[in-house]
Amino acid sequence: MKFVIAPDSFKGSMTAKEVADSIASGIKKVFPSAEYELVPMADGGEGTVQSLVDATDGKLLKKEVIGPLGNKVIATYGLLGNKKTAVLEMAQASGIGYIDSKTQNPLKATTYGTGELIIDALDHGVSKIILGIGGSATNDGGAGMAQAIGIKLLDINGHQLSFGGGELDKLYHIDLRQLDKRLADTEILIASDVVNPLIGPNGASVVFGPQKGATPEMVKKLDLNLQHYAIVIKKELGKDLAEFPGAGAAGGLGAGLLAFTNAKMSRGIDIVVEYSRLREKSQNADFVFTGEGGIDFQTKFGKTPYGVALATKKVSPNAPVIVLAGNVGKDIDTLYQKEAIDAIFATVTGAKSLKQAFADGSKDVAQTSENIARLIAAMPKIN
- In this prediction the pTM is 0.85
CB atoms within 10 A of CB 88: 27
pLDDT, one tens digit per residue, over 241-276 is 999 999 999 999 999 999 999 999 998 899 999 999
Same CATH fold, 48-269 and 2-41+277-381?
A: no
* Contacts of 355 by beta carbon, 8 Å cutoff, 6+ apart: none
Mean pLDDT of 328-349: 89
pLDDT band at 18 (very low <50, low <70, confident <90, very high): very high
pLDDT, one tens digit per residue, over 51-110 is 899 888 999 999 999 999 999 999 999 999 999 999 999 999 999 999 998 999 999 999
Name the CATH topology of 48-269: Glycerate kinase, domain 2 (3.90.1510)
8 A C-beta contact, residue 168 and residue 225: yes
8 A C-beta contact, residue 67 and residue 73: yes
Q: Give dist(CA 161, CA 168) in Å, integer.
A: 8
Q: Where are the domains of the chain?
A: 2-41+277-381, 48-269
pLDDT band at 381 (very low <50, low <70, confident <90, very high): low
Taken in order 340, 23, 9, 124, the sign of the CA dihedral is: negative
Q: Give dist(CA 227, CA 8) in Å, integer.
A: 37
CATH architecture of 2-41+277-381: 3-Layer(aba) Sandwich (3.40)
Question: How many residues comprise the chain?
Answer: 383
What is the strand order of the sheet 187-191 is part of? 59-66, 72-79, 85-89, 128-132, 187-191, 263-266
8 A C-beta contact, residue 254 and residue 200: no
- Ranking 48-57, 177-186, 276-285, 348-357 by mean pLDDT, the lowest is 348-357
- Identify the CA nearest to 233 among candidates 320, 189, 172, 144: 172
Mean pLDDT of 339-352: 90
Q: Give dist(CA 301, CA 328) in Å, integer.
A: 16
- φ/ψ of 318, rounded to 5, equals -95, 0
What are the helix (H) ranges across 124-177? Answer: 143-148
SS3 annotation, 175-213? ECCCCCHHHHHCEEEEECCCCCCCCCCCCHHHHHHHHHC
